[in-house]
Chains A and B, each alone.
Chain A
Amino acid sequence: AQARVRSAPAPVTDVARLCVCDLLVAQCDTNCCCDPDCSAEDFSLFTTCSIPVVVGDSQLCSQKAAVYSLDVEANPPERIFKLIDQVNPSIFCIHATNYEQALYFKSPEIPTAENFDQLLEKFGGATFSAEPDSWNLDTDAQNPPEANETSRYEYGAPVQTEDGFLRLPSPVVSSWCSDANPAGFLVNQATKCIRSVSVEKCDSIQALSMLFYINSSILASVFQVNITVQSIVVQSLNGTRTLLSRGEVLRLPMVLDELCINAVLGVNYHITHTDTGEIIEAAAAFVLGAISRETLSIEQSFKISFTQENTQPVPLSGNPGYVVGLPVRAGFQPQGYPSPAAFLFASLALSSNKHSQLTILHSTSTQDCLAAQGARAPVLFGYNMISGCKLRITAAMKCQPLAQTLLDVLKGQSFPEYVASFGNSQAQDVFDWVPITQLHISEQMIPHTLQSSCQIPVSLGIEVKWTKYGSLVNPQARIVNVTATITSTTLKQLPSGREKIIPITTSVVFTDISSPAEPSYKAWPTINIKLPFDFFYPFV
């Protein structure tokens, strides 16, 4: 009895004193009839009572209820407070309880000197659950799961290893890393979290060592799959990264020259699986770095990706319709298949390389067209974009090379010929690919200028027409038409020594050309009655 120095304030259970709308301390809350801070004048200004009845658990057979109401007939309006006995007529009303916490929330334990350690152990981590034993990652307390349970993984199932689950540390409540996050099968994830480190504990913090991530092997069908080290990239203190040539050697963290080297800054897991859900290979690519003495915390990044064996992973932009924000997929018709018949069997060269996707010029800070020839941004479905640069023309520039350079700047190195109609169009289905229509418009500055004068392209406008396809409740976006319009303008010869600045623009516009949807109704079933052939036999 002496151990309880102070206890939590006793919960208020008297309905006459309970007021849920009394939020402001020492001030009258509007329309709160039970607020003790309100005077009779305040009550006369209220319109209604926001809480008309304060009652305990209505399952009790008989209980007190505080009823608040406003008498608007009186002048001025006044508040009426009544304490009544509310009776629950049901035969299953609670007559009495002998169980303390039946009708009230449990009062939390107040930490004292005796129970502090136990409370800290239970609630001190970043997470705690009601049943901590079911998520136990200790090696000595774990029973290895049955072999036939791990043979096939389903989407989202945690990937099991010898001592628990494949860990992908991720931020849980705050940005601090929690090591108890399992990786789900076929769930490609990328997480970043912060871990507190110090050079003194360099070799004792498990999460900084490569072994922590590749130690246990993944359980899969009959054998276990070891996690191999695919590559190691070493990041120096100023951020430069170098790929190690012999990346298969395990490098453990150690202290060298007041730095903790070989600390894990990032892990990238690649898991290969069959089409029936069995894991056959696992590899991890590491980024190791150095921790200096002043560093108190580092950011670690983790990524996991799943690939089916013998396939090239092609990121889809939607399934089947395009998802807003994903890149528009484009491709080329391979050379040597000119005839339409052969075209049916040809496959379009798909682009997983982002430089042969549909891209537009990416505006840079220098705004100089000739300097920023490499920067391209992918065209994302649904996002209208505009970008540009400024071209400085001097008298010495020749027309034709300039026009060609500008065309390269506008269209990029490999402008695709076809755009996928759906987000998941396969290369084999040639009818799912829409050809890009190319138009040339020349702005005639001076109407009577001859064709031989210099025409340089100054703007590229890509217009993508898309429509809603499919059912009324779940329409899918489908690209119907893509038109790339190049606008050229005449370049007048400049007098020597002068220079001119011309703006070059690129734009992408997505237009919705879907026709209004018509709900259709199923036809009424018809009754099909036909008499048999020989119904009127004796007479016909």
Chain B
Amino acid sequence: NNSSQLSSLPLHILLYVNGVYYIFYFLATLAMIIYKSQVFSYPDDFLAPDLAVLFLMAILEVPRLYLGFKGNLTEAEAPLGLSLGLTVGSVLLCVYLLLWQSYVLWADVLLNAVLLAAYGLESGLKVMAIAAFVS
């Protein structure tokens, strides 16, 4: 393997795993919100913000992952920097779903914690990749 390659392989793997895990996370969280609305008392003005946050996170995830892949493969720091910015937004939304949802189930805690860990690791690898590309 030629050491002149600056693209980060661990970042690529992590982004790929993140993509797959996110699909599972989205479906699971949506199903649990539906379950909560049937089993518990979940009035509409508490249900709407939770669903809005979940869908907003899904909408943010797509460009975030795309920019991450593209930046890493083309060794360009601009898309990678943009992806990092979107990651910050996703982290905030994830923290909302972890702490400030109307009902936080134990399964919610697990899913969100894993996602947060993935985001954290990703951010670290992205920073290292940007540093490598810039220098």
Contacts and interface: CB of A to CB of B under 8 A. Distances in A.
Interface in B77-135: 99-110
Contacts of B106: 61, 90-93, 95
Contacts of A61: 106
Nearest to B105: A92
A96 interface: yes
Contacts of A95: 104-106, 108-109
Contacts of A59: 40
Nearest to A101: B41
Contact of B102 (A90, A91, A99): A99
B29 to A, nearest CB: 13
B32 A94 contact: no
Interface in A66-108: 90-99, 101-102
Contacts of A93: 105-106
A349 B55 CA distance: 76
A101 B46 CA distance: 11
Interface string A411-424: 00000000000000
Interface string A100-128: 01100000000000000000000000000
B106 to A, nearest CB: 5
Q: Which of B41, B101, B104, B106 has the most CB of A within 10 A?
A: B106
Interface in B39-54: 40-42, 46
A104 to B, nearest CB: 10
Contact of A99 (B99, B103, B107, B108): B103
Nearest to A89: B106
Given A91-B107, A102-B40, A97 B32 contact: no
A94 B105 contact: yes
Q: Which of A61, A94, A101 has the most CB of B within 10 A?
A: A94
B32 A96 contact: no
Given A92-B32, A92-B35, A102-B40, A97 B108 contact: no
A61 B109 CA distance: 12
Contacts of A91: 105-107, 110
Contacts, number: 42
B32 A102 contact: no
B13 to A, nearest CB: 28
Nearest to B107: A91
Interface size class of B (residues with CB under 8 A): 10 to 19
Contacts of B99: 96, 98
Interface size class of A (residues with CB under 8 A): 10 to 19
Contacts of B109: 95
A102 B103 contact: yes
Nearest to A90: B106
Contacts of A90: 106
A91 B42 CA distance: 19
A102 B101 CA distance: 12
Nearest to A62: B106
A318 B102 CA distance: 56
A61 B104 CA distance: 10
A348 B104 CA distance: 75
Contacts of A96: 99, 104
A98 B32 CA distance: 16
B105 A98 contact: no
Nearest to A96: B104
Contact of A94 (B41, B100, B103): B103
A102 B102 contact: yes
A62 to B, nearest CB: 10
Contacts of B42: 99
Contacts of A99: 42, 46, 102-103
A147 to B, nearest CB: 33
Nearest to B41: A102
B30 to A, nearest CB: 15
A102 B41 CA distance: 6
Contacts of B100: 98
A98 B41 contact: no
Nearest to A88: B106
B51 to A, nearest CB: 14
Contact of A97 (B103, B107, B110): B103
A101 B43 CA distance: 10
Contacts of A94: 40, 103-105
A426 B124 CA distance: 91
A171 to B, nearest CB: 33
A122 B50 CA distance: 31
Contacts of A98: 99-102, 104
B107 A92 contact: yes
A102 B105 CA distance: 13
B3 to A, nearest CB: 46
Contacts of A92: 32, 35, 105-107
A97 B41 contact: no
Nearest to A99: B102
A59 B107 CA distance: 13
Closest 3 CB pairs of A and B: A99-B102, A96-B104, A95-B104
Interface of B: 32, 35, 40-42, 46, 99-110
Given A59-B40, A92-B32, A102-B102, 20 more contacts: A90-B106, A91-B105, A91-B107, A91-B110, A92-B35, A93-B105, A94-B40, A94-B104, A94-B105, A95-B104, A95-B108, A96-B99, A96-B104, A98-B99, A98-B100, A98-B102, A98-B104, A99-B46, A99-B103, A101-B41
28 contacts: A59-B40, A61-B106, A91-B105, A92-B32, A92-B35, A92-B105, A92-B106, A93-B105, A93-B106, A94-B40, A94-B103, A94-B105, A95-B104, A95-B105, A95-B108, A96-B99, A96-B104, A97-B102, A97-B103, A98-B99, A98-B100, A98-B102, A98-B104, A99-B102, A99-B103, A102-B40, A102-B102, A102-B103
